[in-house]
Structure 1
Amino acid sequence: MPSEAAGLIMAGGAGERMRLSGSAVPKPLVSVAGRPLLEWNLLALLRAGLGEIHVSVPAADGRVRDFARSRCAELAGRHGARFAVIEEPQPLGSIGAAACVAGSLAGSPAGSPARRGDIVAVNADNLTSLDLRAVLAAHRADGAALTLAVHDEPFTIPYGQITLEGSRVVAYREKPSFPVRICSAVSVLGPEAVHAIAPGESIGLPALANRLLQAGAAVRAFHHAAPWIDVNDLAARERAEALVTRFADGFAA
């Protein structure tokens, strides 16, 4: 993997839904199959061969920061990767911390517009066995400003669906499920996408994608069918445990 690619774990959110579901620890530290979510995501970036990894954390909660500076820094060091913690005094949204990474790989101060590399960004509250190397390779092959990993997620509607021909009922399906194409909260930002974020700006990934589209930049999708789950509450953690157990090879450390 080219050395100018960096990894970024977004772990700066408040995690309100997780707290309300009864968790005593911040969401990035919730354990799934014996590892905190933050550690699972770090391992995914290390498996992708990234030599520099950053994690953004809320400045107000020292528990996530301390875990990142101890356990995560140790794991990164074992793999020969450079590791840095970005503290967010104010929330930067789901992608704003990418501006803090800018410049570091070009040997210039963080936040400099001179960045030349790509950033592979993941969310600490998601788990997936997606091949991040493949996403980065596709991003570069397409020459994209931003690449979004996408997959088809089944959604069950809570009502019965009626199919009509005129006024004649031809089918009645109770609570059918439909696939909806969604972003998997994995993205690759090229320099154009990084430069579109102002230093210190709070911005979400949807807003960044739309900003780039309005500017005529190339935003591409990487469609996949890898196991994926959004772990936003303790009930989702139970499902995540089952997912990691079922697809153990894809989540191997």
Structure 2
Amino acid sequence: MAPVGVSIRVRDDHVVIDNGFLQLTLSNPEGLITGVRYNGVDNLLEVLNKEGNRGYWDVVWSEPQGSGIFDVIQGTHFEIIHEDENQVEVSFTRNWDPSLQGKLVPLNIDKRFIMLRGCSGFYTYAIYEHREGWPDFDLAETRVAFKLRKDKFCYMAIADNRQRFMPMPDDRMPNRSQKLAYPEAVLLTNPTNPDLKGEVDDKYQYSCDNKDIKVHGWMSLEPPIGFWQITPSDEFRSGGPVKQNLTSHVGPTTLAEN
């Protein structure tokens, strides 16, 4: 049976793209990823989180010699770029002007999402434009982040030889862990899985060289499904092939970071 075509429904506050395998829900006009429905699971993203804290593009930037500013990128305009039964591509844009100096990174940002017929995933990319004469700034990082359901995704894989059952996010709370030298590192003192007692959890343990970040993500045992971050090329990443970037970590969280 041939796969059904791709459809799109535009509502006042959400955009829903569906190809029969996968249904993607995006907030309108912000372009935040609020829902990923697949294989009978209404939402693979963490339903306990607010809609703005499930899937998103973000940026960390600063004015010269300034301190870093974390910004979840929220669009102000929605547009359908392409629509037919084989492919839907949508755009969420946020434009900069001088009245926003010091408040938002001086970039025009266009976040894109694409779904294809017969595909069990979706594509996302962004276009950043810094026009001549706009203020200088430092860009520490930009990324797309997905926060998955902790009641389903328990097994993480970032390479053939780096995969395991992971601690729960609750295991990092003060009643189950001890803070170490910096906030990202904790000693698991009373984890929900006793086998993990005495381990240190630190998201930087799971960093990889840019050249090695190909596929990483999480698996659910019930139902047996995975959520995978696939990197087609590392050319968009700065710092060269041996610079390390984050991948997946306790959350359960998966990132595409530059």
TM-score (norm 2): 0.29
| Structure (1 or 2) with the greater strand fraction | 2
| Structure (1 or 2) with the greater helix fraction | 1
Q: Which has the higher contact order (CA 8 A, sep 6+)?
A: 1
TM-score (norm 1): 0.30
